Amino acid sequence: MFVTISGWGMYRSASRRAEEGHTSDQWARWIIPRVALLCLCQLTVNVLLNVERGGRFEWHTPGVLTLLAISAAICPIFVRTSKFLRSLMMIALCASPLILGGNAGQDLSWFERVDAANVEDWFARLLWNGTYPVLPWMFFVILGTLLHDFTHEARMRERGIVLGVIATSATIVMSVTEDVDWALTSGDAVLTFFPASMPFLVVSATLVALLMGLLEGREVSGGNPLMGSRLSFLEPAGRISLSIYVAHFAVLGLVALAMDGEPRMSLVPAFAVTIIHTAIGISSTI
């Protein structure tokens, strides 16, 4: 969701500038600060939750923010690319886990996935076997651009969601008939996050498109969103979402430092802590 919405927002901003007829110098002034800021924020996140202090990242680990930095750099190209061509790119990215096969790093442990012994390894983590590599995670950025362009084509979006629901149902049937887990963070399951499997991409895209459509309600046709103005209190958080994302890693870093060497928290306490500190972060912006 975060990657898709980021792609939607960057594409919207780039589209507006393309309509204004930005020159090459103006595009550079738009791209360079965004790429630099996102890379700096990724470095900050890595330092805040560094493995040397009980965290989860090496200081040089590519992550979701480096993915967004690449997206910002190439977004002007997406603006000049047709919906049909971007749809083909999205299909190719969706199939990339199958094409990559073992190169996607199914056998990598977490700490191998976030580490790089040399420049070659670092680019591999960035492009195809890291936490949020370009292949296949650019899929969600392009999804965001298409959701933007299909805003006023409700029938096309509905057809996509229907096909996605059918595919999602097929993954559930596959899980039951083959007696494997439906979804795991990593391991032997139909849907896996690290690395992102093809079924995970399809199911996630379906849920994102469905949720965005539900929340929009009749807003596109001049009516009201699903819950009217009851969610408007979240708007300030949306304007500083990157700040919230980075700041919450500072909290997690303190927790990791305090719990370094301690037994891992069970699911319920860990979930409760996550929800509470997220709610505090959002409420502080209101």
Instruction: Give tens-digit pLDDT for 232-283.
Output: 545 555 555 777 677 767 777 777 777 665 666 565 666 676 666 666 655 5
Residues 79-115 have pLDDT tens digits of 999 999 999 999 999 999 999 999 999 999 999 999 9
Question: Where residue 286 falls among pLDDT bands split at 50, 70, 90?
Answer: low
Question: Where residue 180 falls among pLDDT bands split at 50, 70, 90?
Answer: very high
* Prediction pTM value: 0.87
Counting Cβ atoms within 10 Å, is residue 45 exposed (0-12), middle (13-18) or buried (19+)? buried
Q: 217 φ, ψ to 5°?
A: 60, -125
Give the integer Cα–Cα distance in Å for 96 and 135: 6
Strand runs labelled E in 180-271: 181-184, 189-192
Task: Give the pLDDT score at 263.
Answer: 60
Which residue has better confidence, 286 or 241?
241
Taking a C-beta distance cutoff of 8 angstroms, is the pair 225, 215 a contact?
Answer: yes
Q: 202 φ, ψ to 5°?
A: -65, -50
**Domain assignments of the chain as residue spans, ordered by start:** 1-149, 153-230, 231-286
Task: Give the pLDDT score at 2.
Answer: 86
Residues 7-29 have pLDDT tens digits of 999 999 999 999 999 899 999 99
Residues 26-37 have pLDDT tens digits of 999 999 999 999
Helix H or strand E encompassing 118:
none
Which residue has better confidence, 62 or 53?
62
Taking a C-beta distance cutoff of 8 angstroms, is the pair 79, 280 a contact?
Answer: no
Residue appearing with tokens 């791209």: 31
> What are the residues facing 74 on neighbouring strands?
none
Peptide bond into 195 cis (omega under 30): yes
Residue from 57, 63, 68 nearest 3 by CA: 68
Residue appearing with tokens 């997690």: 252
Structural tokens at position 195: 């690395």
